[in-house]
Amino acid sequence: MDALDVARWQFGVTTVYHFLFVPLTIGLSVLVAILQTLWHRTGDEKYLKLTKFYGKLFLINFAMGVVTGIVQEFQFGMNWSDYSRFVGDIFGAPLAIEALVAFFLESTFIGLWIFGWDRLPKRLHLASIWAAAIGTNLSAYFILAANSFMQNPVGYRYNPDTGRAELTDFLAVLTNKVALITFPHTIAGAFLVAGSLLVAVALWHLIRHRDSADTPAYRFAARFGSWVTLISATVVVITGDIQGKIMTQVQPMKMAAAEGLYATESPASFSVLTVGSLDGSRELFALKIPYLLSYLGTGDPNGTVQGINDLQARYSAQYGAGSYTPIIPVTYWSFRLMIGFGLAAAAIALLVLWTQRRGRAVPNSKWLLRAGLAMPILPLLANSFGWIFTEMGRQPWIVFGEMLTRDGVSRSVSLTEVLTSFTAFTLIYAVLAVIEVKLLIRYAKAGVPDVTPAPEPDDTDDAERPLAFAY
Amino acid sequence: MELTTIWFLLVAVLFTGYFILEGFDFGVGMLLPVLGRDDKERRVMINTIGPVWDGNEVWLITAGGAMFAAFPEWYATLFSGFYLPLLLILLALIARGVAFEYRHKRPEASWKRRWDNAIFFGSLVPAILWGVAFANILRGVPLDADHEYVGGLLNLLNPYALLGGATTAALFATHGAVFVALKTVGDIRARAAALAVRLGVAAAVLAVAFLSWTLTIRSSTAAVVLAVAAALALLGGLAAATVRREGWAFTGTAAAIGLAVATLFAALFPNVLPSTLDPAGTLTATNAASTPYTLTIMTWVAVFFTPIVLAYQGWTYWVFRKRIGVAHIPQH
């Protein structure tokens, strides 16, 4: 074990952890904004209750997303300083813009929304949650544009005098075709999580507290959440398909690694499940769908999909001797788990809608309850495995074709230092995870709050009124 | 003006803004166990910064991002070189940010006490370490010809840097006490005002010592003028605090912090991270900078968006301008 390995593990752990909170922040901010808009438009108290209820869950999650996000920005410089030097001219700009354009919007208007209940005029208060939601979604674009540069570097030139990559076309970086398709894929993946959370919590209340006064509110949330889940699952599949084709062009090794495809094939079949030796020389068991991989990768059922062995030979000739192959079991399984967990969530959403068809009450089924509770966990895992796939599939590169991961690590940071930070982050993150999940369950169980309609604050000097939603 | 100079100024402005804004909310956090006698008073204190602390912290994220975009070498060397102090700052900011949100989420006293500790240490640790970090930037650190940090942790804990840490902690505590006096009503307001004066005297002594020491290490006319202005602003703020003019007192401590940070940047320019070993290792606004193309794009982005951000963030402060007291805290 050396400092490089620990730095990689730390980046992996802190990033996957950070991204447990990000999808909920992205998706739930918009869903809460929609709920509040429904209340604003219809005056139906059910929507206000749901806004406050899911708003609380959103904020419990949001805090974790914020604090774990700062680590990400610092970590590039702290642990990957040679990477930062190499790409700073290109990579720093989207990060700075993300902070200036998106994070200020998000954080400022979240503050206004939390403390603005019954204090701001209703319209302005509603606008606050929308502004925060827009800020959150906007931030995703900039960071994905930065990440896409690592997958498919564009809009730059290598300056041999400085040994650095230099920006030549910022628009090209922002309209990187990988970024353009990764953004809707990631956002839809986030809504998959948020929709699933709506369903899980609502379904629990519908089954546990039958015929309560709040049943209509939970019924709405369960159905709304199910539709969000289904629609986002559809978008995830469509964008994922396009992403696969782009990946086959710009990172053929990643596609081959996703499939464990060692020899170039035309037509190539999609492996549903293959068990074999790691170097691909022997297959013990294989379940394959003919032509599918060719179609997924190239759009043509007879198209050629390059195999790992040929690509490895080509890259060795191009970049010099060395391994250019990612860890195949990781890419192979993370790719499959991403798809499997995502589809499972969509299937449960379909089931939930089916059980409530034409106004039927939710059946009192233990299995439905369990399926519902599994729902938010499934797309979260799908999100994690998607990122593990896309980042591990890029290896050994930190910037594809330009810089190896091992060359990007900080030279001045010792093994002891990085072990210290890795241990510290892992410990504090583990403790906070337990606290966060317990709080989420506590507040989810508490159910929708009582809401007494507040008067429009006609007199803003009404300073004696207690704060709503105070810390 | 050179693009690199503009970006040196912008990074300076972002850190200055960060220390003025998060300075008072660090101060409020540090004074939580001192000024907040019971749970309600502590809640009053937390709620004075409740709507704004997160937005204040984005100044740091933006400063870091701007440093990365405009001066990648500076960002890379500084963040990898100051590894352990930055780790502690991150852990503190994590604990503190979560604490604000989670503290009132359960009724048990033990739960609240733990989060109060997180807020206290989560505010105290960065308040000290930012001072230590900036003092070291100004003093210079051992960098080799490749601009790699070659000192250890102990190198960063020199007397000058420790004085810097004590100074920022005292300044932020004073700033926080003035802010609590400005934003609250009742008993806590009077206690905060009295504490502000006592803390302010200590902060003034430390600040004068630290800035004088700074100017002996490196200096410029601008830095001397700014240092004198910082001292005068702090004294003015203290005078205002003594006569209970809280708005003016806050203006004074805010200006003092801003001018003190500006002093450091003015003394530092055109260097951004001097090397105490090989002069070739010194990072300057020129040799640490991105290409003119990147700086030009970033300049346009900054010119367009900074006024918008300042407008809505300023407006937030206006919305929540009212004083609060224990009467405003809900029962549950």
Rounded to an integer, the average pLDDT of B249-270 is 96
B33/B116 Cα distance (integer angstroms):
8
CA atoms within 13 A of residue B278's CA, in its CB half-sphere: 11
What mean pLDDT is predicted for residues A115-119?
86
In which band, very low, low, confident or very high, does the pLDDT at A460 lie, cut at 50, 70 and 90?
very low
Mean pLDDT, range A123-132, rounded to an integer: 95
Mean pLDDT calculated for residue range A429-433: 95
Among the ranges given (A176-185, A293-302, A438-447, B310-319), the one the predictor scored with the smallest mean pLDDT: A293-302
> Quick one: B123 exposed, middle or buried, by C-beta within 10 A (0-12, 13-18, 19+)?
buried
- Token pair for residue A25? 């922040």
Instruction: Please give the sequence-ordered ranges of beta strands (E in DSSP) within A249-345, or none if there are none.
Output: 270-276, 283-289
| Structure confidence by residue, pLDDT tens digits, B177-199 | 999 999 999 899 999 999 999 99
- How confident is the prediction for chain B on average, in pLDDT? 94
Q: Do B301 and A112 touch (CB under 8 A)?
A: no
CA distance B243 to chain A (A): 25
For the four alpha carbons of A44, A46, A52 and A54, in that order, the dihedral sign comes to negative
- What is the β-pairing status of strands B283-284 and B271-273? antiparallel
> Is the confidence at residue B12, as pLDDT, over 80?
yes
**For residue A131, how far is the Cα from the chain centroid?**
20
- The single-letter code of the amino acid at A434 is V
3-state secondary structure of B324: strand
Q: Does the pLDDT value for residue A458 go beyond 70?
A: no
Any alpha helices (H) in A356-376, and if so which ranges?
A: 366-374
Angle, to 10 degrees, between the axis of helix B83-102 and the axis of helix B109-139? 150
The answer to whether A248 and A215 have CB atoms below 8 angstroms apart is no
B261, HSE (Cβ side, Cα atoms, 13 Å): 25
What does residue A175 show for φ and ψ, rounded to 5 degrees? -110, 25
Q: How far apart are the first and last CA of chain A?
A: 44
Q: What number of C-beta contacts closer than 8 Å exist between A and B?
A: 247
Within 8 A of B98 by CB-CB distance, chain A residues are 63-64, 67, 432, 435
Separation in Å, CA B119 to CA A66, B29, B43, B126: 16, 6, 12, 11
* Angstroms from A60 CA to nearest CA on chain B: 7
**CB–CB of B237/B212 below 8 Å?**
no
B225-B227-B229 Cα angle (round to 5): 70
B64 neighbourhood in chain A, CB within 8 Å:
73-74, 77, 99
Structure tokens given for B114: 């733990």
Q: Which of A311-315, A368-372, A379-383, B167-171 has the lowest mean pLDDT?
A: A368-372
A213-256 tens-digit pLDDT: 888 899 999 999 999 999 999 999 999 999 988 998 899 999 88
Q: With bands split at pLDDT 50, 70 and 90, how would you rate the model's confidence at A368?
A: confident
A217: its two tokens:
């509110």
Is the Cβ pair B76, A81 closer than 8 Å?
yes
B322 to chain A: which residues are within 8 Å by CB?
A: 463
Contacts of B53 in chain A (CB under 8 A): 111
Distance from CA of B133 to the nearest CA of A (A): 14
CB contact under 8 A, B69 and A93: yes
Residue range(s) defining the domain that contains residue B134 = 3-328
Task: Name every chain B residue with its beta carbon within 8 A of the beta carbon of A466.
Answer: 327-330
* A31 min Cα distance to partner chain B (Å): 21
In chain A, pLDDT over 70 holds for what percent of residues? 95
pLDDT tens, position by position, A292-306: 888 888 888 888 888
pTM of the model: 0.93
Classify residue B51 by its DSSP letter: T
Burial class (CB in 10 A: 0-12, 13-18, 19+), A171: exposed
Q: Is the pLDDT of residue A466 over 70?
A: no
Residue of B54, B70, B328 with shortest CB distance to A111: B54
Q: Which residue of A has its CA nearest to B153?
A: A417
Q: Is the pLDDT of residue B278 over 90?
A: no
Please tell me the predicted confidence (pLDDT) of residue A166: 94
Tell me the C-alpha to C-alpha distance, in Å, between residue A98 and each of B127, B140, B298: 26, 31, 12
Rounded-to-integer distance, Cα B62 and Cα A104, Å:
9
| Better-scored residue on pLDDT, A359 or A138 | A138
Answer whether B313 sits within 8 Å of A108, measured CB to CB: yes
pLDDT attached to residue A27: 96
Asked if the model's pLDDT at residue A375 lies above 80, the reply is: yes
- B-chain CB neighbours of A100 within 8 Å are 62, 65-66, 301-302, 305-306, 309
Question: Which one of A92, A424, A432 has the shortest CB-CB distance to B98?
Answer: A432
User: Tell me, what's the pLDDT at A303?
Assistant: 83
- Counting runs of H as helices and runs of E as strands, what totals does chain B give? 11, 2
Residue among B55, B322, B328 whose CB faces A111 most closely:
B55
CA distance linking residue B301 with residue A170, whole number of Å: 12
A129-138, A401-410, A445-454: least confident range: A445-454
Tell me the DSSP string of B222-265: HHHHHHHHHHHHHHHHHHHHHTT-HHHHHHHHHHHHHHHHHHHH
C-beta separation of B135 from B274 below 8 A = no
Using a CB-CB cut-off of 8 Å, the residues of chain B touching A73 are 61, 64-65, 68
DSSP A459: -
Whole-number Å distance between alpha carbons of B90 and B103? 19
Stretch A269-277: mean pLDDT: 79
Residue A426 has pLDDT above 50, yes or no: yes
Q: How high is the pLDDT of residue B195?
A: 95
Q: Which two tokens stand for residue B4?
A: 């690199």
| CA–CA dist A254, A242 (Å, integer) | 15
Q: What is the pLDDT of residues B37-52, one digit of tens each?
A: 999 899 999 999 989 9
Q: What is the pLDDT of residue B273?
A: 94
Query: Closest to B328 (Cβ–Cβ): which among A81, A439, A467?
Result: A467
| Alpha carbons A95 and B72: distance in angstroms, whole number | 12
Read off the pLDDT of each residue in A196-202 and give the average, rounded to a whole number. Answer: 93
Neighbours of A144 (CB within 10 A): 24
Q: Which residues of B touch A168 (CB under 8 A)?
A: 293
The nearest alpha carbon in chain A to B290 belongs to A89
Instruction: Output the furthest CA–CA distance in chain A (Å, rounded).
Output: 78
- In percent, how much of chain A has pLDDT > 90? 67
- What does the pLDDT look like over B94-121, one tens digit per residue? 999 999 999 999 999 999 999 999 999 9
Contact B325, B186 (CB under 8 A): yes
* CA nearest to B312 within chain A: A108
The predicted model gives A68-92 an average pLDDT of: 94
User: Measured between alpha carbons, how far is B202 from A384 in angstroms, rounded to an integer?
Assistant: 50
Report the gap between the CA of A261 and the closest CA in chain B (Å).
39
User: Is pLDDT above 60 for A454?
Assistant: no
Mean pLDDT value across residues B127-134: 97
Domain count, chain B: 1
Look at residue A88 and tell me whether its pLDDT is greater than 90. yes
Contact A221, A51 (CB under 8 A): no
* pLDDT above 70 for A96: yes
A111 with B51: Cβ contact below 8 A: yes
| Pairwise CB contact (< 8 Å): B301 & A99 | no
Question: Are residues A167 and B328, on separate chains, in Cβ contact within 8 Å?
Answer: no
Task: Find the CB nearest B68 among A76, A79, A167.
Answer: A76
> Are the beta carbons of A408 and A225 closer than 8 angstroms?
no
Residue B100 with chain A: CB contacts under 8 Å: 63, 471
| Of the candidates A22, A432, A75, A99, the residue with the CA atom closest to the CA atom of residue B98 | A432
CB-based contact B290 A59, cutoff 8 Å: no
3-state DSSP assignment of residue B75: helix
Percent with pLDDT over 90 in chain B: 89
CB spacing of B76 vs A84 below 8 angstroms: yes
Q: Write out chain A residues lying below 8 Å of B327, CB-based.
A: 464, 466
Output the pLDDT for position A280: 63
Q: In whole angstroms, what is the distance from residue A51 CA to residue A46 CA?
A: 9
**What is the average pLDDT across A357-369?**
80
Task: Report how far residue B35's alpha carbon sits from residue B177's, in angstroms, rounded to the nearest whole number.
Answer: 9
Model confidence at A370: pLDDT above 90: no
Q: Virtual CA dihedral for B58, B59, B62, B63, nearest 10 degrees?
A: -140
Nearest by CB to B65, from A68, A92, A464: name it: A92
How big is the CA angle at A259 (ends A258 and A261), to the nearest 5 degrees?
Answer: 125
Distance from CA of B125 to the nearest CA of A (A): 16
